[in-house]
Amino acid sequence: MRERTRNIVWLGMLLTIVLGAACRNGMRDGARTKPLESTQFFADGRSARPLVDGTVARGYAMVSDEEEYLRTGKIKGQLGNQMPFPLTRQVLERGQDRFTIFCTPCHDHLGNGQGMIVQRGLARPPSYHIDRLRQAPLGHFVDVMTNGFGAMYPYAYRIAPRDRWAIAAYIRVLQLSQGTTVADVPEDQLSKLEEMEE
Ligand code: HEC
């Protein structure tokens, strides 16, 4: 009985090796075509299949300066400091929403660079409140999101261009909020501030 069990184990191992090898050969020797090679298999003679109707090509064509600015934060390679569309409260709220989702894990809710991932050991990003980033044009933030920056990976495929601008505008809000004194509060808003203190 022992002998039989051992034989079954051996057979199992042998089968694994033989079948495993067969699989590898199948991948290596199976019929396939090289890119752009012709074939008799399809009626049009091409091995590459045309795109399915209604599918969207990846990448994009920069058709105009406006398009380039919206997508990269740059016009003819120069970083800009203007929003490419009107800035409204709604845009800022959208920016806050996206910033909270995508950026706070590392940059934290105030932009000090002390997010939870950083507290768990990732390299600490610079605070948004250092002079260099306070003075950086708005387009710089869009550029960082579009292309990544040093250890930070790009967000172009996760955050649409308009949302990148909304986030950049919200970063400006954070920068203002951290460098503001009571003297900067408009007079008609002062009473609200006093209410909050009470
Ligand atoms: C996984 C962590 C992580 C996330 C999430 C993240 N960042 Fe960063 N970010 C970094 C790190 C790390 C650096 C510093 C990179 C370096 O200097 O090598 C950085 C740097 C920056 C800088 C400074 C660039 C400079 O000029 O020094 C900006 C601006 C920035 N991030 C914006 C964002 C925005 C906006 C988001 C959300 C869309 C975001 N980051 C999400 C980790 C992150």
Which helix or strand (DSSP H or E) is residue 74 part of? Answer: strand 74-75
- 86's tokens: 């009107």
Residue 168: per-residue pLDDT: 98
In a domain, 15, yes or no: no
The alpha carbon of 157 and the centre of ligand 1 are apart by a number of angstroms equal to 16
Give φ, ψ of 149 to 5 degrees: -155, 115
Q: Which residues line ligand 1 at a C-beta cut-off of 6 Å? A: 102-103, 105-107, 117, 122-123, 125-126, 141, 144-145, 149-152, 155, 159, 167
In a domain, 61, yes or no: no
Query: Taking 80 as the threshold, does the pLDDT of residue 74 lie above it?
Result: yes
| CATH code of the domain in which 130 resides | 1.10.760.10
The Cα 98–Cα 163 span in angstroms is: 7
The Cα 182–Cα 191 span in angstroms is: 11
- 2's tokens: 């022992």
Domain that holds residue 154: 85-180
In a domain, 173, yes or no: yes
Alpha helices in 33-88 (DSSP H): 65-72
In a domain, 133, yes or no: yes
Share of the chain above pLDDT 90, in %: 56
b/e code 102-117 from CB counts within 10 Å (16+ = b) = bbeebbbeebbbebee
Residue 129: per-residue pLDDT: 96
Query: Taking 60 as the threshold, does the pLDDT of residue 12 lie above it?
Result: yes
Residue nearest ligand 1's atom 34 by CA: 103
Tens digit of pLDDT for each residue in 112-145? 999 999 999 999 999 999 999 999 999 999 999 9
Residue 20: per-residue pLDDT: 63
Domain count across the chain: 1
Query: In DSSP terms, which residues pair with 78 in a beta bridge?
Result: 75
Is 152 in a helix, a strand, or coil? Answer: strand
- 17's tokens: 């090796």
Q: What residues contact 94, with CB distance under 8 A and at least 6 apart?
A: 163, 166
In a domain, 151, yes or no: yes
The alpha carbon of 64 and the centre of ligand 1 are apart by a number of angstroms equal to 28
- DSSP character at residue 104: H
Residue nearest ligand 1's atom 1 by CA: 106
In a domain, 186, yes or no: no
Task: Give, in degrees to the nearest 5, the angle at Cα 94 between 88 and 98.
Answer: 145
The Cα 77–Cα 179 span in angstroms is: 30
Atom number, ligand 1, closest to the C-alpha of residue 128? 29
In a domain, 144, yes or no: yes
Atom number, ligand 1, closest to the C-alpha of residue 150? 18
The alpha carbon of 154 and the centre of ligand 1 are apart by a number of angstroms equal to 9
Is 75 in a helix, a strand, or coil? Answer: strand
Which helix or strand (DSSP H or E) is residue 1 part of? Answer: none
Report the residue among 131, 134, 149 best suited for mutation to probe ligand 1: largest number of ligand atoms under 8 A from its CB.
149
In a domain, 102, yes or no: yes
